[in-house]
Structure 1
C-alpha cells in the first residue's frame, strides 16, 4: 500500500484541479452544467483515483486506477482543446494547463510502469 499524500503526482494533480476550477469559473454561465462541469469532474477524478488506487493491496489493482487516471487526463486534454476552440480560455491558459497536464501524464505513466 502506498501513502497517496506522499506521492508527487497526487500533490500536483490537486494543484492542477484547482487551476481547472479557476479557469472554468470564467466560462459562460450557459456552460455551468456543460463543459465546465465535465472539466471539473475529470480533474477531480485524477487525484481521487490516485488516492483510491493507493489503498489497494496489490500493485496490479493500483495500476488499474492509474490507467483510469490517465483516461481522465486525456479526457481533460480533449475538453481543454474544445474550450479553446470555443474561445472560453486564452491561449496562455491553454498552454499552461496542457503543459502541467502532460507532466502529470508522464509521471503517472512512469509510476504505473514501475508498479508492473
Structure 2
C-alpha cells in the first residue's frame, strides 16, 4: 500500500480529515495515534455508543462548569465505559498480536516510517 493510500479526503467543511493508519486501527491527530472504534461493531450499536459518548462528554463539561466533583467522576466513568464499548480503549479489537500503540506519538511506533513518508509528501497536515 502506498503511503498516500490511507490519507483521507477532506470533508465538505474543507477541514482536513484525520489520517488513518494503513491497517485502519488508528487516527493520527497532531502526531499522536488514537485507536479507532472496532469496525466489526454493527452500525446501530456504534451509533448508540457514539451518542452515549457524546452525552457523557457533555456531562463532563457541565460538571466542570458547576465544580461538581462527584458528577465529574461519574461523567468521566461514562466516557471511559463508552470508549471501552466502542473498542477505543481496553483490550485491542484486533487479534493478530500487534501491540496497542494507542495515545503514543507516531514517531515512536511501528508507523513512524509510514508517517515520515506522508510528511515528506506534505500529507501530514496536523
Which category of TM-score, normalised to the shorter sequence, fits these structures? 0.3 to 0.5
Normalization by structure 2: what TM-score? 0.35
- Bigger CA radius of gyration: 2
Normalization by structure 1: what TM-score? 0.38
Higher helix share: 1
Higher strand share: 2
